[in-house]
A = this chain, B = another copy of it.
Amino acid sequence: MNILLVYAHPEAKSLNGSLKNFTVNHLQEAGHQVQVSDLYAMKWKASLDGDDRTDRQADARFYPTHDSRLAFENGTQSEDIAREQEKLRWADTVILQFPLWWFSMPAILKGWVERVYAYGFAYGVGEHSDTHWGDRYGEGSMAGKRAMLMVTTGGWESHYSPRGISGPINDILFPIHHGILYYPGFDVLPPFVMYRTDRMDETRFSNLCTELGQRLDNLAHTTPIAFRQQNAGDYDIPQLTLRADITPDIYGFAAHLK
């Protein structure tokens, strides 16, 4: 497979840096092609703005969606953006690796999503009609590709349990899993989450690598999270609410799981 690892940690000698190196080696030894977008090393520009379109007139009003669409259609996107899109087209599987900072991805990775996910590429794709609200949530440019999060957190596993104070990890990650990965069509694999990573010794690291290696060996065979497709009949369109006769007692993120 072709595997893209998008990696966001500022320190190469960190636990995340070691896990990144382990991952790349492990995948390559298994015969995969691997590309790494090491966002800090690349000095990735995090903030989406008018400079992301190279042919914009300096005094023109900047419309994030409209300008993204024009730049994508006309091939006038900033080169760093186009290069990441090319990596996404190339990849069969995408891994986003990051430390959980304030219950979400680091800003530099959020800015990768915002800038690389152009209109016409990751959203604004497909027909809009009374029965089909764009190619999204299970359809889209990334359909047929797989994606997985690799996440470290200093918190304990119990803090992210169903009644843990942080909120359940799957709910904390839902906006990323469903809103960033499933939206443009990825099949989303269960995340690989590592807790209490400020307490790491060689034994724990070794065990972690064994467990991670098994997950990496099964990338192609792991069952994705069973999100519901938007345009397959489960939702009323254009309200995009789950049909009244489907699991009528379930609300919230859980309603979008089959």
Contacts and interface: CB of A to CB of B under 8 A. Distances in A.
Contacts of A176: 103
Interface stretch (A18-26, A76-84, A107-115, A214-222): A107-115
Interface in A133-191: 137, 154, 156, 158-159, 161-168, 171-172, 174-176, 178-180
A240 interface: yes
A2 interface: no
11 contacts: A10-B64, A65-B198, A103-B180, A107-B107, A107-B114, A108-B111, A137-B165, A164-B241, A166-B240, A171-B171, A252-B252
Interface stretch (A44-52, A85-93, A202-210): A44-52
A11 B61 contact: yes
Interface of A: 10-11, 13-14, 40, 44, 46-50, 61-65, 99, 101-104, 106-108, 110-111, 113-114, 117, 137, 154, 156, 158-159, 161-168, 171-172, 174-176, 178-180, 198, 230, 235, 238-242, 250-256
Contacts of A63: 11, 14
Contacts of A65: 154, 198
A87 B47 CA distance: 22
Nearest to A99: B64
Copies of this chain assembled into the complex: 2
A228 to B, nearest CB: 8
B48 A162 contact: no
Contacts of A252: 162, 167-168, 171, 252-254
B163 A255 contact: yes
B163 A242 contact: yes
Contacts of A110: 102, 104, 106-107, 110
Given A102-B114, A113-B102, A159-B240, A107 B47 contact: yes
Contact of A175 (B103, B107, B255): B103
Contacts of A106: 47-48, 110, 114
Nearest to A13: B61
Contacts of A253: 167, 171, 252
Contacts of A235: 165
Given A46-B47, A103-B176, 8 more contacts: A11-B64, A47-B107, A47-B108, A65-B154, A159-B240, A165-B230, A167-B174, A171-B252
A158 B99 CA distance: 33
A164 B240 contact: yes
